[in-house]
Chain A
Amino acid sequence: MKLTVNGTVHDVDASPDTPLLWVLRDHLGLTGTKYGCGEALCGACTVHVDGRAVRSCVLPVERLQGRAVTTIEGLSPDGSHPLQQAWARHAVPQCGYCQAGQIMTAAALLEEVPHPSEAQVDRSMATNICRCGTYLRIRAAILDAAGES
């Protein structure tokens, strides 16, 4: 089947019910998106589909015909997305495992709400879990990227 990821159309030979996450990682080699829980509970696998954040671990690839998938690798060609720059300024990651999902959720938030309040950031990011507890730096980086700090 045809799958558009980061602006490139791929021919993918996968069972239609394969979760997008495994097509990204195992078929296309895009390993920036992480497996966390496999039940849409942690957010590590968050990518964008037509600009909206989705949990790729529960999204069958057959549902993506004619839709555009963006992964952390496609957020910017050179890591220059304002969130990525803010992430570096605030030294957000600790172990780093959840960070791709955190940034993709944050990017979807800023796409809809360019200047969110702290409370809005907290609500939108609440379903992305960071086991290292970098939540305060995540919030600071998002507000920084949004020009709110």
Chain B
Amino acid sequence: MRSTAFLLPLLAAVTSCSSAPAPAPADPATVEAGHKAFAHLVEVLRHPRCLNCHPDDDRPRQGMHQAVHDPPVWRGPDDRGEPGAHCASCHQDRNATDARVPGAPGWHLAPLSMAWRGRSDAAICAQLKDKARNGGRTLDELQQHLAEDPLVGWGFSPGHGREPAPGSQAALGDTARTWIDAGAPCPPRGEPQ
């Protein structure tokens, strides 16, 4: 019993290292390319079209000024709104042309573990790589999410005069691939936001 208890801290330390494994970086030039790719990646992630649905509280934001969502709505128990007032009560599976309500399949908030508001680039990078906080995704699955998820894609086609996130979803996928293939390097901690 005593020996088992002795091992628990070690076991906890091992199991807490849940980041998805990244391929070993090839050379300094590749690593540098990885850093540049992440800089572009995080520029997209910080765009209000993406950030508004990655809040660090229970209220989605809207608009380029990131105002609290009006009408008043909350995250709810499963990140899809409150009972009787689900996100999909108003947001359809595509943008509503005449009513101007934005929409995409599976409209919902990112879980709190994926909150980006107020986080540094280094913190966001660590979040992206941490399976405990990124939805259990490997880096390849993360790349697939960025490149193919229609809700991510909405950020580039937001409809009704809304400013899209920079670039395209395909370019975001390519950027993520470059970053991952370079070993998914993160900026040093303490870097300004």
A residues with a Cβ closer than 8 A to B are 19, 38-42, 46, 52-55, 57-60, 63, 105-106, 108-109, 112-113, 116, 120, 123-127, 129
Contacts and interface: CB of A to CB of B under 8 A. Distances in A.
Given A54-B89, A58-B96, A63-B93, A109 B101 contact: no
Contacts of A108: 83-84
B29 interface: no
Interface in B86-126: 86, 88-90, 92-93, 96, 98-101
A41 to B, nearest CB: 6
A42 B101 CA distance: 13
Contact of B100 (A39, A105, A106): A39
Interface of B is mostly: loop
Contacts of A116: 83
B71 interface: yes
Contacts of B71: 41-42, 126-127, 129
Contacts of A54: 88-90
Contacts of A41: 71
B101 to A, nearest CB: 5
Interface of A is mostly: mixed
8 contacts: A38-B98, A39-B99, A40-B96, A58-B92, A123-B74, A124-B82, A125-B84, A126-B73
A69 to B, nearest CB: 14
B72 interface: yes
Contacts, number: 72
Contacts of B74: 123, 126
B92 A63 contact: yes
Q: Which of A42, A55, A108, A123 has the most CB of B within 10 A?
A: A123
A58 B58 CA distance: 25
A39 B84 contact: no
B84 A58 contact: no
B99 A120 contact: no
B82 A123 contact: yes
Contacts of B82: 109, 120, 123-124
A124 B89 contact: no
Contacts of B86: 52-53
